Every structure is written in C-alpha cells, then in structure tokens.
Amino acid sequence: MTEIYETQPERTDLPLVVMPAILDSMVEPLKAQLPVLKDVARVRLYLDFTEDADLIVERTAQADVMINGGPHLSDDLLHRLSGGVRGGEGGKVGCIVFSGTGVASYINLALARELGVRICNAVHYGDNAVAEHTFALLLELVRHVGELSSGVKAGVWANPLGDGLQLAGRRLGIIGLGGIGSTVARIARAFGMEVAAWRTSQTPAERFEESGATPVDDLNELIASSDVVSVHMPLIDGATRGLITADNLAHLKPGTLFINTARAEVIEPGALVARLQKGDIPAALDVYDHEPLPADDPLRSIPGIVLTPHVGWRTDGAFRELTRQMVACIAAYFAGEDLNVVVSER
C-alpha cells in the first residue's frame, strides 16, 4: 500500500492540495516547506511515483490544487482533473503547480487556459545545477574520465581514447543566454574559454556584459565559429519549439562539441540525430524527444556521444529552491495573488 504523508488532516474546512506522484528526492525538501501552508491548506502527498491516469484522477478527486511532480498530463487527463470530465469522472482542480520550469513539455497550456486552470512553474531554481551538469558533460567529452575510470578498474592502464582536449582558449557558443546560459558563461570564463552567445530580441543587452559573452546576431555564424556549442533555450510554444533547424546544425564544423541540457524540442525533429549520425560531432545530451529514451532510439547506437537521463536539474540545492517556490505558488493562489503564473485561470 502506498504511504501517504498529510498535514492538518483534521482541518476539513481548509482547501486540499494533493501531490499524486513524487520523486523520492523531493519528499524531504517539500516536507520542510509545508509549514508555510499552516492554516492555509491541508496537504496530502502520495509517496510513490505513477503515471497511471486513473490513479492520478482517483488521488486528486477532492483536490483544489494539484502538484505535478513529473507525470505528463494528457489532454484527456487534464479534462478529468479540472472537472471538464471527458473520458471519465472529473475532479475540481483549479490550479496545477508544476515541479520545474519547462511545463510546456508536460501540459497542454492552451487547453489549460480553455479549461480555466491556473498553471504555475518554478524559475531559476536549477540555474547552478544545470550549468554544473553542462560542464560535467563537457569535461567527459574532452577528458573521458568516466570511460578511463572503467578501464582502470578493468585492469587497463592505458588511454585508448587518445589525449584530452584543453578547454582554455577554446570558443564556447551559447544558444540561450538566460539564467542557466549566463551561469554557463561565467563558469566557462573561469576555465579560460572565449565565450559568445546568440543575441535575440528577448535577450537584454546588459546580460552579455554581466556574463562576459560576446553577442552574435547570426545563429549560423555563432555555430560555425564555435569549438563548443551549448543549448540553453527554454521551450516556448510558438517561439522556440523547433527553433534550431537542420540548416543551423549543418554549420557545425567537424569536431565541434555539442551539448544540450535544455529541451530536445527546441531542435527541429530529427535534425540532431541526422547530424550526429555523420559521426564527426562529439555530443553530450541530457534531454530527448521521448523520455525515457526508447531502447530502439538511434542516439543509443551513435559512437562518441554521452547520454544522461535528464538529471541535470537534480541537486540538493535545486530541490530546496524548487520546493520553496512550489509552496509559495500555492500560498499565493489561495491568497488571490499571482506568482510564477504561466497560465491564468482568469
């Protein structure tokens, strides 16, 4: 039987917040934040993880607010959660708080707006975490520490992978100079790298000065002139989905190191796989079009690339800040205030 953690269960006069599925790493940080909701709302956490739609509906049947800890919410499920019914019994969820930033990958925002469901997310909670993971991936590409460690443990005292590459003096091209991209830029400069970033109309001019990145107006020029290309563009429907095209990737010169810790969907479908299959671009990826990565995905069989299971954001510090923002969003909702609102119910 699934373990349940509840606060103020006797306060049936208070609205109910339910988290129907949770990652183990989020449990303790979230519990630590819940005193903020004392006398505001009672909270019920189901201490397991599920993507079963019927079970999610059952667990949130009486909830006013749902915390979405990762399951993808289909359109049918969103209807059922909000009381729009379609496909089964409906609930009464008026606000969904997403445990992350890229909510567009998990919830149909246009449908949520149509159904009158507020959607909140968390922002900048993982800037340091993802930036640090970006460099973990980059360092694996240039020094192969993981592979060499496995070799030594297996009795191989040699370097079959060849000499490493030095980051100092190399040029890093950043696509997306937001909170994470700016943090990556500062770390890169500490390594002695030359840093440039794509300048878009959404990027404040002062951000380039603050991060030490040289602005480049043409994306193809940025890609072609860089030794390392790192993607940090958020996924925004109608703006960044498929923004990086096959033509852009064609400007990667052989040997360029390519990293994506942002969202796979910001790249034109199929374009990255096609470019990597040529075999001349070492790459490291933490995000994919389909997650978990299917067993037959061609990325699994391309030599020279490093794959991690979308864990760039998962650190102790990121979980603390993430859960703080989640609870603050809930408190704001019940107070009639707006915080991190991606879709308004009004």
pLDDT in tens, 46-66: 999 999 999 999 999 999 999
Domain CATH code at residue 48: 3.40.50.720
**Is 291 a catalytic site residue?**
yes
Residue 319, both tokens: 């979980």
Question: 87-91, 140-144, 186-190, 265-269: which has the minimum mean pLDDT?
Answer: 87-91
Question: What's the start-to-end Cα distance of the chain, in Å?
Answer: 39
Tell me, yes or no, whether 286 and 334 share the same domain. no
Tell me, yes or no, whether 121 and 132 share the same domain. no
Element (H, E) at 326: helix 316-334
| Cβ neighbours of residue 114 closer than 8 Å, sequence gap 6 or more | none
Cβ proximity of 23 and 48 under 8 Å: no
Cβ proximity of 21 and 56 under 8 Å: yes
CA distance 204 to 194: 20
Q: Is the pLDDT of residue 89 over 70?
A: no
Tell me, yes or no, whether 292 and 145 share the same domain. yes
Tell me, yes or no, whether 64 and 78 share the same domain. yes
Q: Is the pLDDT of residue 128 over 70?
A: yes
Residue 98, both tokens: 């997403």
Which residue out of 189, 310, 320, 324 is catalytically annotated? 310
Residue 63, both tokens: 């909830």
Percent of the chain clearing pLDDT 70 (strictly above): 98
| Structural domain for 175, as ranges | 127-307
Q: Closest Cα to residue 32, out of 10, 50, 14, 5?
A: 5
Tell me, yes or no, whether 82 and 227 share the same domain. no
The structure's pTM equals 0.89
Tell me, yes or no, whether 133 and 271 share the same domain. yes
Burial class (CB in 10 A: 0-12, 13-18, 19+), 249: buried
Tell me, yes or no, whether 146 and 276 share the same domain. yes
Tell me, yes or no, whether 212 and 254 share the same domain. yes
Which residue out of 59, 144, 263, 275 is catalytically annotated? 263
Average pLDDT of 297-318? 96
CA-CA distances (angstroms) from residue 168 to 27, 133, 153, 193, 242? 40, 18, 29, 5, 32
Q: Is the pLDDT of residue 300 over 50?
A: yes
Radius of gyration of the chain (CA): 22
Tell me, yes or no, whether 112 and 82 share the same domain. yes
Tell me, yes or no, whether 120 and 135 share the same domain. no
DSSP state of 244: B
Tell me, yes or no, whether 170 and 85 share the same domain. no
CA 160 to chain CA centroid, Å, is 34
Question: Beta-carbon neighbour count of residue 209 at 10 Å?
Answer: 10
**Is 232 a catalytic site residue?**
no
pLDDT at residue 84 in the model = 64
pLDDT tier at 301, thresholds 50, 70, 90: very high
Tell me, yes or no, whether 321 and 215 share the same domain. no
Which residue out of 58, 291, 300, 337 is catalytically annotated? 291
Average pLDDT of the chain?
Answer: 95
Question: How many domains would you assign to the chain?
Answer: 2
pLDDT at residue 3 in the model = 97
pLDDT tier at 105, thresholds 50, 70, 90: confident
**Is 199 a catalytic site residue?**
no
